[in-house]
């Protein structure tokens, strides 16, 4: 069922009439059976589900019929902002297929629904602002899931604080005012009433360093490097004692850590121009111009004694300390174990189902043969009870539940339930 299904419209109508608001968050992602690896349902299908939801509201005429319905879509609209041009072109070139239930152009509804800000990209957030408007983007965290802005990977609101070029008004809108408007609450009761003297500075709020990790380290891989991590301005100094080359940049707490704990790993953020000599062993992509090509990160794991460090050039499970939920299993290990166990159970179930189906066929054949023989041979007549009634109860096979009768055909699903 998609959200344009006629059976859902009375619910949307009641929400609009009552003055309530609606939040749409994806689940039951498409393609789950196809995408069994690499967390692809969450990375690919979930954004597609959100786009499907928005398109269903547009093409299904829900926005048109309920102009006062306040709807917010999760994850900055998913893949919709990146494909809206294709959606509009589809409406333009095949209105016979796209405009069956609503004649209005899809782009006419831009700015008439809300999304949260979780793009995890400054450039993409800027694109969503241009498409939908900064007055329709709400503060979101996706808490407590790791794809949201959650410590230690990210801090809530981090993208809004980091985004270059945002005015104070735009930040105020996205950090609270837009959400209050979506909720139907008068924002003047809440904005500009905070005690600003006791409020922490944005620099402290958005700091991703930690005093426990600051200090001086000798790098064991690569050798001949001294690393200094400073709390002030989150500055690091990378000094090659052999070549005399010194580099500086920003550092932050790494992502290989437990929720709410500080682990021994950090990320060093270098500007691309700082590695012209190739010391960091990363290709410099000067032809690209994006937030990803402007800098590059180097991950280091610090020693337990706080004196040395080593560069981690590739993902290794032994360096991963983040926990999944309340257990001590590694994230990927836990999911991989669950998937493996589920596949084994599914295989066993299919094997049992086949065996039961074969047994059903054999049982039916034996019943047919006995039925034919009892018609012609007096010696094979079924036994009578003391009252003279023919006994039709068969004890075998013992498959659980109540005994099967002579004339019943074995039901595979019923047997599965009883066992």
From 282, 299, 322, the end of a domain falls on: 322
The reply to whether 276 and 346 lie within a common domain is: no
Mean pLDDT of 406-415: 46
Counting Cα atoms < 13 Å in the Cβ hemisphere of 28 gives: 5
SS3 of residue 278 by DSSP = coil
The reply to whether 123 and 268 lie within a common domain is: no
Query: Can you read off the two tokens belonging to residue 361?
Result: 């066929």
Backbone angles phi, psi at 232, to 5 degrees: -65, 120
The reply to whether 404 and 306 lie within a common domain is: no
Q: Which domain holds residue 144?
A: 6-192+199-205
Q: What is the DSSP string of 40-77?
A: HIIIIIHHHHHHHHHHHHHHTTHHHH-TT-EEEESGGG
The reply to whether 262 and 135 lie within a common domain is: no
Domain count, the chain: 3
The reply to whether 149 and 188 lie within a common domain is: yes
Q: Note the pTM of the prediction, 2 decimals.
A: 0.68
Q: What is the CATH number of the domain that holds 77?
A: 3.20.20.140
Among residues 228, 249, 250, 229, which one has the least CA distance to residue 239? 228
Average pLDDT, the chain: 80
- Is there a cis peptide before residue 96, judged by omega within 30 degrees of 0? no
The reply to whether 124 and 38 lie within a common domain is: yes
In a domain? residue 1: no
In a domain? residue 242: yes
SS3 of residue 327 by DSSP = coil
Q: Tell whether the model's pLDDT for residue 144 goes beyond 50.
A: yes
Q: Residue 393 gets which letter from DSSP?
A: B
From 322, 346, 372, the end of a domain falls on: 322
From 205, 231, 258, the end of a domain falls on: 205
How do 225-229 and 235-240 pair as beta strands? antiparallel
Q: What is the DSSP string of 248-282?
A: EEEEEE-SSS-TTS--SEEEEEEEGGGGTT-TT--
Give residue 294's pLDDT band: very low, low, confident or very high (50, 70, 90).
confident
The reply to whether 71 and 155 lie within a common domain is: yes
Give residue 254's pLDDT band: very low, low, confident or very high (50, 70, 90).
confident
Give residue 259's pLDDT band: very low, low, confident or very high (50, 70, 90).
very low
């Amino acid at each position: 069922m998609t959200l344009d299904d006629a059976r859902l419209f009375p619910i949307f109508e009641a929400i609009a009439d009552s003055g309530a608001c609606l939040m749409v968050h994806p689940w039951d992602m498409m393609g789950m059976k196809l995408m069994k690896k690499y967390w692809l349902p969450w990375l690919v299908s979930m954004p597609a589900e959100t786009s499907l939801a928005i398109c269903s509201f547009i093409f299904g005429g829900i926005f048109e019929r309920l102009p006062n319905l306040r709807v917010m879509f999760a994850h900055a609209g998913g893949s919709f902002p990146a494909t809206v041009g294709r959606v509009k072109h589809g409406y333009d070139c095949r209105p016979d297929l796209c405009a069956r239930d609503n004649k209005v152009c899809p782009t006419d509804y831009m700015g008439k629904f809300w999304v949260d800000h979780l793009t995890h990209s400054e450039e993409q957030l800027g694109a969503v602002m241009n498409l939908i408007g900064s007055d329709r983007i709400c503060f979101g965290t996706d808490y407590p899931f790791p794809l949201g802005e959650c410590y230690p990977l990210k801090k809530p609101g981090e993208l809004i604080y980091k985004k270059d070029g945002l005015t104070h008004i735009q930040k105020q809108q996205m950090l609270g005012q837009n959400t209050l408007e979506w909720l139907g609450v008068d924002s003047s009761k809440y904005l500009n009433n905070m005690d600003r003297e006791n409020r922490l500075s944005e620099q402290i709020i958005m700091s991703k360093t930690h005093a426990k990790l600051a200090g001086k380290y000798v790098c064991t891989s690569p050798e001949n490097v001294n690393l200094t991590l400073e709390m002030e301005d989150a500055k690091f100094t990378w000094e090659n004692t052999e070549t005399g080359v010194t580099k500086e940049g920003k550092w932050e707490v790494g992502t290989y850590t437990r929720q709410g704990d500080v682990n021994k790993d950090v990320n060093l953020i270098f500007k691309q121009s700082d590695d012209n000599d190739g010391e960091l062993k990363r290709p410099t992509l000067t032809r690209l111009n994006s937030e990803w090509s402007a800098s590059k990160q180097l991950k280091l794991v610090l020693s337990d004694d706080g004196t040395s460090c080593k560069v981690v050039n590739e993902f290794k499970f032994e360096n991963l300390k983040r926990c999944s939920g309340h257990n001590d299993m590694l994230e990927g290990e836990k999911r991989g174990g669950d998937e493996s166990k589920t596949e084994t159970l599914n295989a066993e179930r299919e094997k049992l189902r086949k065996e039961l189906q074969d047994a059903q066929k054999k049982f039916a054949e034996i019943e047919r043969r006995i039925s034919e023989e009892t018609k012609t041979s007096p010696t094979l007549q079924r036994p009578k009870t003391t009252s003279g009634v023919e006994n039709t109860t068969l004890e075998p096979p013992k498959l659980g539940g109540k005994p099967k009768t002579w004339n019943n055909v074995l039901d595979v699903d019923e047997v599965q339930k009883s066992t």
